[in-house]
Amino acid sequence: MAYEMCKRCGKFFGRNGRSYCEDCFKKTEREHDLIIEHIRKHPDATILDIITATGVTLKSINCLVEDGYVSYIDNKIKKLDKEEISRAIDKIIDTKSKFHIRRSL
Ligand SMILES: [Zn+2]
């Protein structure tokens, strides 16, 4: 059986076609729903708003960004349509440095 290292917790797990172990996958799915729900209700939410309101960690948001579920836009996060995802990847790379600066505030 092939093993992979979980992108979130670093544990090794049996390959399942995903980047996360089973536990982290469930957690990520749940947090994804929370974030999307929050963005729907508050389209102008900042990353900080989302973290405060949902209890989702910065790390989780980063994972969702890496997976193309959401994208940073000027310190905000927004849900993407499928067609937007490839274009958004460039944007994510651009805004990552901004994000790190914000984090150290
Ligand atoms: Zn994990």
Q: How far is the CA of 44 from the centre of ligand 1 (A)?
A: 31
Domains in the chain: boundaries: 26-103
Share of the chain above pLDDT 70, in %: 69
Examine the pLDDT at 5 and tell me if it is beyond 90: yes
> How high is the pLDDT of residue 97?
45
Q: Using CA atoms, how far apart are residues 11 and 53, in angstroms rounded to an integer?
A: 28
Q: Report yes or no: 13 and 3 within 8 Å, Cβ to Cβ.
A: yes
What would the pLDDT profile of 6-42 be if each residue is shown by its tens digit? 988 999 999 888 888 999 989 888 998 898 888 889 8
Q: 76-79 and 3-5 as β-strands: parallel, antiparallel, unpaired?
A: unpaired
CA distances from 25 to 20, 61, 89 (A): 5, 13, 21
CB-count burial class (<10 Å; 0-12, 13-18, 19+) for 35 = buried
Q: 76-79 and 70-73 as β-strands: parallel, antiparallel, unpaired?
A: antiparallel
Mean pLDDT confidence for 58-82:
73
Using pLDDT thresholds of 50, 70 and 90, give the confidence band for residue 81: low
Q: How far is the CA of 25 from the centre of ligand 1 (A)?
A: 7
**Does the domain made of 26-103 have the CATH classification 3.90.950.10?**
no
